[in-house]
């Protein structure tokens, strides 16, 4: 398969949101044609999106953990307040 065919295949994977696969395909195309700057650019775009996805997932997990930790703390405080009133 030629570098141009791999580029098309990588672009199709990118459009399907298969960014890891797109990175692998672009890397394979770069091995065949290391002078094609578009391949490097496309691979970089796919890598940036992968990094942003990982960052987003970690951020969401952190926010939910913090929320539920506070919710648990507020529940303990409420129970403590109810016990003191009685």
SS (H, E, C) 25-45: HHHHHHHHCCCCHHHHHHHHH
- Per-residue model confidence as pLDDT tens digits over 6-54: 999 999 999 999 999 999 999 999 999 999 999 999 999 999 999 998 8
Q: CA torsion angle for 29, 30, 32, 33 (degrees, to 10)?
A: 120
Q: pTM of the entire structure?
A: 0.68
Residue from 60, 6, 57 nearest 31 by CA? 6
- Please report the domains of the chain, with CATH numbers, ordered by start residue: 3-85 (1.25.40.10)
Look at residue 86 and tell me whether its pLDDT is greater than 60: no
């Amino acid at each position: 398969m030629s570098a141009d065919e791999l580029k098309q295949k990588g672009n199709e994977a990118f459009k399907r949101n298969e960014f890891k696969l797109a990175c692998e395909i672009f890397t394979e195309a770069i091995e065949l044609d290391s002078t094609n700057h578009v391949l490097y650019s496309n691979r970089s775009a796919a890598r940036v999106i992968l990094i942003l996805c990982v960052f987003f997932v970690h951020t969401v997990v952190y926010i939910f953990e913090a929320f539920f930790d506070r919710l648990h703390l507020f529940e303990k405080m409420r129970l403590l307040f109810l016990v003191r009133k009685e």
